[in-house]
Amino acid sequence: FEKWTDDQRRVVLDDLMGQSRPRQLTYTRNLLTKRFPAHHNDFTRLFPRVLCLYIFSYLDPRSLCRCAQVCWYWKFLTESDQIWMPKCLRFGWTPKYSPSSFESNVWKRVYTFNIQALQT
Q: In the prediction, which pLDDT does 100 show?
A: 79
Q: Is the pLDDT of residue 111 over 80?
A: yes
Residue 118: HSE in the Cβ half-sphere, 13 Å Cα cutoff: 8
Same domain, 11 and 54: no
Task: Examine residue 83 and state whether it is found in any structural domain, yes or no.
Answer: yes
Same domain, 53 and 26: no
Domain that holds residue 22: 6-35
Task: Examine residue 98 and state whether it is found in any structural domain, yes or no.
Answer: yes
Same domain, 110 and 57: yes
Same domain, 91 and 50: yes
Distant-in-sequence, close-in-space partners of 111: CB < 8 Å, separation ≥ 6: 61, 84, 87, 88, 93
Task: Examine residue 1 and state whether it is found in any structural domain, yes or no.
Answer: no
Same domain, 80 and 22: no
Same domain, 49 and 92: yes
Same domain, 112 and 57: yes
CATH code for the domain in which residue 94 is found: 1.20.1280.50
CB 108 within 8 A of CB 79: yes
Our count of domains for the chain comes to 2
Task: Examine residue 68 and state whether it is found in any structural domain, yes or no.
Answer: yes
Distant-in-sequence, close-in-space partners of 9: CB < 8 Å, separation ≥ 6: 1
pLDDT, tens digit, 9 for 90 and up, residues 2-28: 899 999 999 999 999 999 999 999 999
Least confident of 29-33, 48-52, 73-77: 29-33
pTM greater than 0.85: no
pLDDT, tens digit, 9 for 90 and up, residues 60-104: 999 999 999 999 999 999 999 999 999 999 999 999 888 777 888
